[in-house]
Amino acid sequence: MKAKPHTDFVRLRRMHERGDYDPTTIHAILDAAPLCHVGHIIDDRPVVIPTFHWRDGDTVYWHGSAASRMLRANAAGDVVCLTATLLDGFVFARSAFHHSANYRSAMVFGVPRKVTDDAEKLASLKGFTERLSPGRWDGLRPVTAQELKATAVLALTISEASAKTRSGPPGDDAEDVTWPIWGGVLPVHLAAAAPIDDSHVNGAYTPPATPFTSD
Ligand SMILES: Cc1cc2nc3c(=O)[nH]c(=O)nc-3n(C[C@H](O)[C@H](O)[C@H](O)COP(=O)(O)OP(=O)(O)OC[C@H]3O[C@@H](n4cnc5c(N)ncnc54)[C@H](O)[C@@H]3O)c2cc1C
């Protein structure tokens, strides 16, 4: 049986059959998406900022300069909306109306907390670096106290969240399927290209592998 919405706010109204509130689904989308967008209100205006995120259990994290307007606003006790999206395909129908997209998206709402404990902060930053390239953290020059102080980390419990997904062919009207134009899905996926060494490498080190592909 499908999980129920955590609150009425996150209950999908439009295309509700595409909704999923199962933490496993939401976690998988957050983990597969390399970046998210954080929506919040600053000076009575909505602001949506793209940023990296990472997850540990039922907590999603993001970070930035301690002087960042976003980070300071997010630590002020207001609700934010964090959205992560993976585009899986362009869906070409026989009518403009039925064009669509195949995708997986997740939205998490809540009041974030600023991570103030240095040990938790460091552990979560390790989680972020390891997400970008597993095994990299241990080879890095250690974080300094000044760098830790200059970095703010926000944590949001995934307690009010929704996922929406679409897959499959276009939903043409029955009378349109013989219309003389191509219909179907053009799959798209995220993939890393070949690494580009900087001028200090000189072939001495192995480039990082990244887990980010949306296949
Ligand atoms: C790649 C992509 C392309 C899209 N293109 C379009 C487009 O061109 N036009 C369009 O109208 N819509 C598009 N959508 C769908 C869009 O994200 C919304 O789901 C849709 O517009 C309904 O919005 P609403 O405010 O009426 O949702 P409602 O169903 O009223 O939203 C209620 C609650 O449902 C949840 N919810 C809604 N949408 C999502 C979502 N995408 N992911 C996770 N939770 C969600 C949220 O918790 C929200 O608070 C696209 C989505 C993706 C990922």
The total number of structural domains that make up the chain: 1
C-alpha neighbours within 13 Å on the C-beta side of residue 135: 6
Q: Is residue 149 one of the residues assigned to a domain?
A: yes
From residue 111, give the alpha-carbon distance in Å to each of 19, 25, 50, 62, 155.
23, 22, 18, 13, 9
For residue 206, what pLDDT is reported?
Answer: 85
The best mutation among 4, 29, 87, 105 to test binding of ligand 1, ranked by most ligand atoms within 8 Å of the C-beta, falls on 105
Cα separation, 70 vs 38, in Å, equals 9
For residue 211, what pLDDT is reported?
Answer: 72
Confirm if 151 and 121 have CB atoms less than 8 A apart: yes
The best mutation among 12, 22, 27, 159 to test binding of ligand 1, ranked by most ligand atoms within 8 Å of the C-beta, falls on 12
Burial 110-146 (b: 16+ CB within 10 A, else e): bebebbeeeeebbebbbebbebeeeeebeeeeebeee
Binding site membership of 55 for ligand 1 (Cβ less than 6 Å): no
Tens digit of pLDDT at every position of the chain (215 positions): 678 998 999 999 999 999 999 999 999 999 999 999 999 999 999 999 999 999 999 999 999 999 998 888 888 889 999 999 999 999 999 999 999 999 999 999 999 999 999 999 999 999 999 999 999 999 999 999 999 999 999 999 999 999 999 999 999 999 999 999 999 999 999 988 888 899 898 777 888 877 776 55
Residues in the chain: 215
Q: Is residue 57 one of the residues assigned to a domain?
A: yes
Q: Which amino acid is at 57?
A: G
Q: How far is the CA of 143 from the centre of ligand 1 (A)?
A: 39
Domain of residue 127 covers 16-187
Confirm if 68 and 93 have CB atoms less than 8 A apart: no
Binding site membership of 97 for ligand 1 (Cβ less than 6 Å): no
Q: How far is the CA of 83 from the centre of ligand 1 (A)?
A: 11
Q: Is residue 27 one of the residues assigned to a domain?
A: yes
For residue 174, what pLDDT is reported?
Answer: 98
CATH number of the domain to which 24 belongs: 2.30.110.10
Q: Is residue 200 one of the residues assigned to a domain?
A: no
For residue 213, what pLDDT is reported?
Answer: 64
Q: Is residue 7 one of the residues assigned to a domain?
A: no
Binding site membership of 102 for ligand 1 (Cβ less than 6 Å): no
The whole model's pTM is what? 0.94
Q: Is residue 1 one of the residues assigned to a domain?
A: no
pLDDT one-digit tens code per residue, 184-200: 999 999 988 888 899 89
Q: How far is the CA of 18 from the centre of ligand 1 (A)?
A: 10
